[in-house]
């Protein structure tokens, strides 16, 4: 039984949109997570506008029904697949297009990772000749079926997996923009401080912690930890205040090192290459439809460290590349 009771059963923030949840970047944050709660699904493209054959998922998810509506587009068109599912759902809907050519894979989110953990462990035990009396389940799967559950008595620890350090996890989150990690960072302190084990509880705890640090919350409406919700609002004033406050924290050096370097690493590795901003600016990128944002630190020509925040909101991409325009602004920062 996969025990996901560390967080509550409502693992998706209320204002996330339907089109995101089944895709890898919209994975829910459960009380038990594994391999970033993602899977790969592979298709075999065929003729133009013909159905693309479903090949497999990795890891294997035989207990899920796959409804495949994916078609084949012209070669070179890239990933145009949407995966639709919700937490605890036993079917996934695959729609969109893959390019002609060789087999093509895209990433989705596992609907109940705690159940998958139990399934995978049971499968491995059977391979090793260990008999399993009952099939896999999870605490939240039992909740769904309105069955009570309790921790079995007489258990024995057979393996322990130690977590990487928070420093390592934060760097991975910031370098790769892993939404799941950001959601876990928001929710975990709330549980440990007995403020609740859901997203709304965690937001209240977040606000309480940052008010105590002197942050003015006016202009901030926080709906999640990752920024995936289009209902989030934040001002550049608040972002720069957060970045400024962080410079006085004992953990600042580790935090600063966790932020990708423009032209060098992470999601900004290809930004402002061969410019004076490359290697200077530490910046975290953020984007949803119609929004591009960067925030972080730069060293000015006088040697001083400054923080900055740029948010380009509700732009029309048909009028140009927003990233290129923001790249120019960041290059200009180093002249200050």
User: 184 and 87: one domain?
Assistant: no
pLDDT greater than 80 at residue 233: yes
Mean pLDDT of the chain: 93
Q: What percent of the chain has pLDDT over 90?
A: 79
Residue with tokens 């059977």: 126
CB atoms within 10 A of CB 49: 10
Residue 127 φ then ψ, to 5°: -60, -30
- In eight-state DSSP terms, residue 193 is T
Question: Using alpha carbons only, what angle is made at residue 17 by residues 80 and 142, rounded to the nearest 5 degrees?
Answer: 105
What pLDDT, on a 0 to 100 scale, did the predictor assign at position 325? Answer: 86
What pLDDT, on a 0 to 100 scale, did the predictor assign at position 144? Answer: 64
Q: What is the CATH number of the domain that holds 296?
A: 3.40.710.10
Q: How far is CA 213 from CA 182, 204, 206, 242, 250, in A?
A: 20, 15, 11, 9, 13
**Average pLDDT of span 66-86:** 96
- Domain range for 10 is 1-161
pLDDT greater than 70 at residue 142: no
What pLDDT, on a 0 to 100 scale, did the predictor assign at position 148? Answer: 64
* Most confidently modeled range among 68-82, 132-146, 149-163: 68-82
pLDDT greater than 80 at residue 149: no
Domain C-terminal end among 95, 128, 161: 161
User: 154 and 207: one domain?
Assistant: no
Longest dimension (CA), the chain: 70
User: Tens digit of pLDDT for each residue in 154-201?
Assistant: 888 988 989 899 999 999 999 999 999 999 999 999 999 899 999 999
User: Tens digit of pLDDT for each residue in 11-55?
Assistant: 999 999 999 999 999 999 999 999 999 999 999 999 999 999 999
Domain C-terminal end among 161, 178, 204: 161
Q: What percent of the chain has pLDDT over 70?
A: 97
What pLDDT, on a 0 to 100 scale, did the predictor assign at position 184? Answer: 97
Tell me the pLDDT band of 318, cut-offs 50, 70 and 90: confident
Domain count, the chain: 2
User: 146 and 192: one domain?
Assistant: no
What pLDDT, on a 0 to 100 scale, did the predictor assign at position 141? Answer: 66
User: 127 and 180: one domain?
Assistant: no
Answer for the pair 186, 202: CB distance below 8 angstroms, yes or no.
Answer: yes
The encoded tokens of residue 138 equal 């999870």
Domain C-terminal end among 126, 161, 196: 161
User: Tens digit of pLDDT for each residue in 56-73?
Assistant: 999 999 999 999 999 999
**Average pLDDT of span 302-326:** 87
pLDDT greater than 90 at residue 140: no
What pLDDT, on a 0 to 100 scale, did the predictor assign at position 146? Answer: 59
Residues 6+ apart with CB under 8 A from 162: none
pLDDT greater than 80 at residue 317: no
286 conformational bin, left if phi > 0, alpha if psi -120 to 50, beta if neither: beta
Per the DSSP assignment, residues forming a β-bridge with 299 are: 305
């Amino acid at each position: 039984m996969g025990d996901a009771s560390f967080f509550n059963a409502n693992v998706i923030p209320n204002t996330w949109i339907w089109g995101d949840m089944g895709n890898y970047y919209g994975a829910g944050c459960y009380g038990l997570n594994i391999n970033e709660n993602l899977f790969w699904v592979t298709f075999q493209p065929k003729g133009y506008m013909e159905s693309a054959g479903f090949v497999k998922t990795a890891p294997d998810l035989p207990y899920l029904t796959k409804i495949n509506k994916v078609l084949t587009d012209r070669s070179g068109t890239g990933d145009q697949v949407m995966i639709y599912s919700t937490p605890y759902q036993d079917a996934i809907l695959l729609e969109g297009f893959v390019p002609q050519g060789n087999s093509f894979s895209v990433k989705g989110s596992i609907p109940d990772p705690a159940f998958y953990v139990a399934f995978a462990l049971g499968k491995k035990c059977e391979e090793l000749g260990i008999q399993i009396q009952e099939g896999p389940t999870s605490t939240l799967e039992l909740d769904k079926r309105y069955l009570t559950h309790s921790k079995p008595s007489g258990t024995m620890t057979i393996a322990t997996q130690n977590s990487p350090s928070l420093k390592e996890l934060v760097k991975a989150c910031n370098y790769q923009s892993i939404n799941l990690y950001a959601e876990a960072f928001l929710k975990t302190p709330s549980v440990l401080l007995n403020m609740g084990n859901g997203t709304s509880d965690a937001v209240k705890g977040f606000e309480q912690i940052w008010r105590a640090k002197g942050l003015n919350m006016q202009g901030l409406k926080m709906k999640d930890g990752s920024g995936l919700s289009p209902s989030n609002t934040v001002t550049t004033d608040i972002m720069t205040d957060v970045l400024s406050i962080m410079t006085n924290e004992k953990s600042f050096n580790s935090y600063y090192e966790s932020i990708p370097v423009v032209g060098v690493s992470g999601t900004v590795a290809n930004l402002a290459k061969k410019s004076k901003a490359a290697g200077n600016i530490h910046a975290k990128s953020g984007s949803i439809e119609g929004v591009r944002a960067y925030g972080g630190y730069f060293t000015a020509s006088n040697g001083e460290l400054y923080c900055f925040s740029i948010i380009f909101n509700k732009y029309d991409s048909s009028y140009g590349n927003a990233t290129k325009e923001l790249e120019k602004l960041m290059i200009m920062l180093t002249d200050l």
